[in-house]
């Protein structure tokens, strides 16, 4: 398992970065933090998530880290690495939490100093809430942890990322290519958010809370959304997301056509297909 003598640094103490810091500290690792917000940094210090932290003049924390977790948006991560990446010491293996990988992983790997390795990963454990103040509410156990290695990654780095996920408490760890990851995310995550947002924006539903049922509530749970993060993720993965929206549009158009034609059999066949596929999903997904 992971060497507890190694020093960890979390850059970006948001919801996921804060949870990483919390779980690593609980597991006995020495964890430092870097964060833009002094308030949230102080929260992490007060709660004991990190041993020490800084908002500026943090070069010593970067150069002293054996492993780094980047809890930053893709654009911010690139900007940060362009400025401070050269400070990372040889032998350091680091990862991220970004929800998109294409255009990020290769550029970061291009910028890595000699002897430094970036192994990308994605903890699929986001919530409607944000910030380190809600990090303790996140439950990693039922979530998926996706590792996205490239040809530049070593077996050592893949093992480290796997063991990191285990220490953090993930019970479901898998490996995808960068391209496979972004196609998958476009469907199972980003399309779902796009549908939920569209459903809320399609109608002035202010009064619906007085009489809505569980269906509407469940479908729109993720419509309470971090606009800065999700607009960036959508745009970074726009080709995959547009393709998924087009596919969804075709299925919705099929249902509309059946309704317009009074085609009960057509509707029932769609419902049967949906039920079969959901049943298969339930069998493969732990409760």
Of 156, 176, 196, the last residue of a domain is 176
Confidence of residue 281 (pLDDT cuts 50, 70, 90): confident
pLDDT at residue number 213: 75
Distance of CA 169 to the CA centre of its chain: 15
Confidence of residue 283 (pLDDT cuts 50, 70, 90): confident
Residue 2 located in a structural domain: no
Identify each DSSP E strand in 112-258 by its residue range: 117-118, 120-124, 144-148, 172-175
The DSSP secondary structure of 242-285, one letter per residue, reads: HHHHHHHHHHHHHHHHHHHTT-HHHHHHHHHHHHHHHHHHHHHS
Higher confidence at residue 153 or residue 130?
Answer: 153
pLDDT at residue number 216: 84
127 pLDDT higher than 80: no
Distance separating alpha carbons of residues 110 and 274, to the nearest angstrom: 44
pLDDT in tens, 206-261: 766 666 778 888 888 899 888 999 999 999 999 999 999 999 999 999 999 999 99
Are both 138 and 199 inside the same structural domain? Answer: no
Distance separating alpha carbons of residues 70 and 97, to the nearest angstrom: 7
Closest by CA to 69, choosing from 139, 11, 118, is 11
Distance from first CA to last CA of the chain, Å, rounded? 27
Distance separating alpha carbons of residues 216 and 207, to the nearest angstrom: 13
285 pLDDT higher than 70: no
| Global pTM exceeds 0.85 | yes
Which CATH number do you get for residue 221? 1.10.3660.10
pLDDT at residue number 7: 97
pLDDT at residue number 241: 98
Are both 124 and 263 inside the same structural domain? Answer: no
Mean pLDDT of 118-123: 98
Average pLDDT score, the chain: 94
**Domain range enclosing 200:** 181-284
**Per-position b or e across 157-187, b if 16+ CB within 10 A of its CB:** bbebbbebbebbbbeebeebebeebbbbbbe
Mean pLDDT of 18-36: 97
113 pLDDT higher than 60: yes
Are both 241 and 267 inside the same structural domain? Answer: yes
Are both 27 and 53 inside the same structural domain? Answer: yes
- The single-letter DSSP state of residue 89 is P
pLDDT at residue number 217: 85
C-alpha distances in Å from residue 93, one per residue of 13, 49, 140, 155, 185:
19, 21, 22, 12, 25
Which CATH number do you get for residue 76? 3.40.50.720
pLDDT at residue number 22: 98
């Amino acid at each position: 398992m992971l060497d507890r003598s190694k020093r960890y640094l979390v850059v970006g103490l948001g919801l996921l970065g804060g949870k990483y810091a919390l779980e690593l500290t609980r597991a006995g690792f020495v964890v430092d933090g870097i964060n833009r917000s002094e308030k949230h940094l102080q929260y992490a210090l007060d709660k004991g998530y990190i041993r020490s932290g800084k908002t500026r003049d943090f070069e010593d924390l970067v150069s002293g880290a054996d492993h780094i977790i980047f809890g930053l948006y893709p654009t911010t991560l690139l900007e940060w690495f362009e400025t401070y990446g050269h400070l990372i010491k040889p032998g350091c293996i680091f990862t991220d939490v970004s929800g998109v990988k294409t255009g990020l992983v290769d550029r970061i790997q291009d910028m890595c100093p000699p002897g430094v390795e970036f192994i990308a990963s994605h903890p699929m454990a986001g919530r409607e809430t944000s910030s380190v103040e809600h990090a303790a509410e996140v439950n990693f156990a039922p979530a998926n942890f996706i590792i996205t290695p490239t040809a530049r990654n070593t077996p050592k780095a893949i093992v480290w990322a796997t063991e990191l996920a285990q220490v953090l408490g993930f019970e479901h760890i898998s490996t995808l290519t960068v391209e496979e990851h972004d196609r998958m995310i476009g469907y199972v995550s980003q399309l779902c958010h796009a549908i939920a947002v569209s459903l809320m924006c399609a109608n002035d539903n202010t009064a619906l809370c007085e009489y809505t049922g569980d269906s509407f509530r469940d479908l729109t749970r993720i419509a309470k959304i971090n606009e800065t993060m999700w607009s960036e993720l959508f745009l970074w993965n726009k080709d995959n997301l547009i393709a998924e929206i087009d596919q969804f549009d075709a299925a919705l158009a099929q249902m509309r056509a059946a309704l317009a034609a009074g085609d009960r059999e057509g509707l029932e066949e769609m419902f049967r297909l949906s039920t079969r596929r959901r049943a298969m999903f339930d069998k493969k997904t732990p409760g």
